C-alpha cells in the first residue's frame, strides 16, 4: 500500500491514475487534470479569443466536468472565449426533464447563459411519441440523428462558432471500435479527430478527449460537482453495449488499452472519399444526400 | 462491526434508491466478500449491473475512506470497522 502521493510525496494518495499507474493525492490529481486539458486546448488550438463556444450540456458527468473545466481554464488562462450552455430536450419524461434540472442548477453555479432546444419544437416529435409510434427497436438511431442536427441548429441559434462536447477517452476508444465493427471506414478515419466538421458544418471539439472516464468521475466526485446519473429509460443499443463492456474488461487488465486504441485510430490513414456535402432540399441543413437523414426519418414517422 | 456504504452514479437505483446504508458485519470480510454480501442481502434488481462473473462489474469505482481501492489491495482489502466505502458507477451517460 502506497503511503504518500507519488508526485508531491506529502499528501495521502487518492487515485491511481489509469494513464500512468501512479497513486496521487487530490491536489496533485486536480492540477494534473486541469493542466492536461489546458495543454490539449493549446496544442490543438481549439479556441480563439472572442469566440462563442456552445457547451453541449446534458447534466451528466462528462458535460458537467467540461463546464467546470472550461469555465475555470478560461478564467485562469484568459482564453477570452464566451461560454454558452446548450441542452437538448429529447422529450423523455422521467429522464431528460430530470437531467435538465441538474443543468439549470449548474447554470446558477457558473452563471452561464443556457439555451434549451427541444425535439418537439425542431421536429414536431418528442422521443416519447416516437417510441410510442415505432417501438424500442430503432429509437436510438432517431435520437442520434436528431440530436446531431439539434445541437447544430441550437449552436447557430445562439451565434456560437463552435460546439464543445464532453466525449472522454473511453467514449472515443468505443467509437473507434464501433466504426471498425460496423465497417464504417469513413467515420473510422475521423473518429479520433479532436475537431470535426468540414466547411458548412458547425465545428465540434472534444477537450476531454484524453481523460479517462474514471478520472472524470473521480474529478467530479472529489470536487463535489452536481451531476445526473440515471440511465436513459429507453434501453441503449445492445451492439454498442457489448463494445463498451469489452473495453471495460480490457481496461481492467490493462488500463493503457484505451489510450492505445485512440493512438491506433490517430495513426490510421483511411482512404475513404468524404461524402459529398450538400444542402437538404427540405430543411436546408447540411446533408450528404438530397434529403438529410433527419428529414428521411421524419418521413418514415409520418407514414401511418 | 459495521461499515458505511454509499452508492452513486446510478447504482443507487439497484439498491432501492438508497444512496447510503449502514451494514452490520458479523465477521471480517474482504472487499470481494463484501460485494457478494451486498448483492445477496441488499441488491433489489438487475444483479448483472453490479457484478460480472464473480467480481464487481468493470466500470464501477470503489473508494475506501475516499481512497481509490486500486491503491489498497482491491478485492483483497480487509474491511475495517466503520470504514466508509463508496461504489460509483461510471457507466451512465455523460
Ligand atoms: Zn500530491
Ligand atoms: Zn433535412
Distance separating alpha carbons of residues A146 and A55, to the nearest angstrom: 17
Name which of A225, A229, A246 to mutate to probe chain B: the one with the most chain B Cβ atoms within 10 A of its Cβ: A229
- Per the CB < 8 Å rule, is A231 touching B72? no
Looking at chain A, the whole-number percentage of residues with pLDDT higher than 70 is 97
- Burial (CB count within 10 angstroms: exposed 0-12, middle 13-18, buried 19+), residue A199: exposed
Assess if residue B94 is contained within a domain.
no
- Give the pLDDT confidence of A140-171 residue by residue, as tens digits: 888 989 999 999 999 999 999 999 999 999 99
pLDDT (mean) for B71-87: 95
**What range defines the domain where residue B13 resides?**
2-89
Assess if residue B27 is contained within a domain.
yes
Per-residue pLDDT band for B93 (boundaries 50, 70, 90) equals low
ipTM (interface predicted TM):
0.93
- Per the CB < 8 Å rule, is A2 touching B71? yes
- Per the CB < 8 Å rule, is A230 touching B91? no
pLDDT of residue A200: 65
Distance separating alpha carbons of residues B62 and B36, to the nearest angstrom: 14
Residue ranges of A 87-116 with Cβ closer than 8 A to chain B: none
Collect all residues of chain B within an 8 Å Cβ-Cβ radius of residue A103: none
Please indicate whether residue A31 or residue A137 has the higher confidence score (pLDDT): A31
Residue of chain A whose alpha carbon sits nearest to that of B8: A229
The answer to whether B68 faces chain A, any CB pair under 8 Å, is yes
- The answer to whether domain A48-272 has CATH 3.40.50.620 is yes
The H-or-E segment that residue B85 falls in is strand B84-89
- Give the pLDDT confidence of A50-70 residue by residue, as tens digits: 999 999 999 999 999 999 999
- Per the CB < 8 Å rule, is B90 touching A213? yes
pLDDT (mean) for B2-30: 94
Count structural domains, chain B. 1
- Give the pLDDT confidence of A93-137 residue by residue, as tens digits: 988 888 999 999 999 999 999 999 999 999 999 999 999 998 888
We report the CATH number of the domain holding residue B11 as: 3.10.20.30
Radius of gyration of chain A (CA): 20
- Give the pLDDT confidence of A176-228 residue by residue, as tens digits: 999 999 888 888 888 899 998 766 678 999 999 999 999 999 999 999 999 98
Per-residue pLDDT band for A270 (boundaries 50, 70, 90) equals confident
pLDDT of residue A1: 64
Residue of chain B whose alpha carbon sits nearest to that of A3: B71
The H-or-E segment that residue B89 falls in is strand B84-89
As given in the structure block, the three cell numbers for residue A232 are 436513459
CB neighbourhood size of A101 (10 A): 11
Assess if residue B29 is contained within a domain.
yes
Assess if residue B9 is contained within a domain.
yes
- Predicted structure pTM score: 0.94
Q: Where are the domains of chain A?
A: 48-272, 278-304
Amino acid at each position: 500500500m502506497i503511503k504518500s502521493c507519488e508526485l508531491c510525496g506529502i499528501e495521502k494518495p487518492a487515485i491511481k491514475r489509469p494513464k500512468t499507474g501512479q497513486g496521487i493525492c487530490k491536489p496533485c490529481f486536480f492540477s494534473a487534470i486541469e493542466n492536461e486539458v489546458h495543454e490539449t486546448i493549446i496544442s490543438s488550438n481549439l479556441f480563439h479569443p472572442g469566440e462563442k463556444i456552445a457547451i453541449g450540456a446534458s447534466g451528466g458527468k462528462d458535460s458537467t466536468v467540461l463546464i467546470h473545466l472550461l469555465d475555470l481554464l478560461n478564467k485562469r488562462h484568459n482564453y477570452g472565449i464566451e461560454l454558452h450552455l446548450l441542452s437538448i430536450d429529447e422529450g423523455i419524461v422521467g429522464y431528460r426533464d430530470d437531467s435538465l434540472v441538474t443543468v439549470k442548477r449548474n447554470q446558477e453555479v457558473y452563471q452561464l447563459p443556457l439555451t434549451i432546444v427541444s425535439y418537439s419544437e425542431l421536429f414536431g416529435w418528442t422521443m416519447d411519441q416516437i417510441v410510442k409510434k415505432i417501438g424500442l427497436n430503432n429509437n436510438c438511431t432517431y435520437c442520434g440523428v436528431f440530436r446531431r442536427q439539434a445541437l447544430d441548429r441550437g449552436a447557430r441559434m445562439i451565434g456560437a462558432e463552435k460546439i464543445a462536447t464532453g466525449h472522454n477517452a473511453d467514449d472515443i476508444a468505443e467509437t473507434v471500435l464501433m466504426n471498425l465493427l460496423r465497417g464504417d471506414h469513413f467515420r473510422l478515419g475521423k473518429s479520433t479527430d479532436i475537431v470535426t466538421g468540414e466547411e458548412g458544418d458547425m465545428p465540434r471539439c472534444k477537450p476531454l478527449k484524453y481523460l479517462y472516464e474514471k478520472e472524470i468521475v473521480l474529478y467530479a466526485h472529489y470536487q463535489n460537482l452536481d451531476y445526473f446519473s440515471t440511465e436513459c429509460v429507453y434501453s441503449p443499443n445492445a451492439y454498442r453495449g457489448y463494445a463498451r463492456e469489452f473495453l471495460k474488461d480490457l481496461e481492467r487488465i490493462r488500463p493503457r488499452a484505451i489510450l492505445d486504441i485512440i493512438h491506433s485510430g490517430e495513426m490510421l490513414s483511411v482512404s475513404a472519399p468524404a461524402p459529398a456535402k450538400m444542402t437538404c432540399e427540405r430543411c436546408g441543413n447540411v446533408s450528404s444526400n438530397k434529403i438529410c437523414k433527419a428529414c428521411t426519418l421524419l418521413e418514415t414517422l409520418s407514414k401511418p | 462491526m459495521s461499515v458505511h456504504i454509499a452508492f452513486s452514479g446510478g447504482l443507487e437505483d439497484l439498491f432501492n434508491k438508497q444512496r447510503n446504508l449502514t451494514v452490520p458485519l458479523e465477521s471480517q470480510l474482504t472487499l470481494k466478500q463484501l460485494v457478494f454480501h451486498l448483492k445477496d442481502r441488499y441488491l433489489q434488481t438487475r444483479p448483472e449491473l453490479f457484478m460480472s462473473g464473480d467480481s464487481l462489474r468493470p466500470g464501477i469505482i470503489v473508494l475506501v475512506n475516499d481512497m481509490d481501492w486500486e491503491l489498497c489491495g482491491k478485492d483483497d482489502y480487509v474491511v475495517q470497522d466503520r470504514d466508509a466505502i463508496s461504489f460509483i458507477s461510471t457507466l451512465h451517460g455523460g
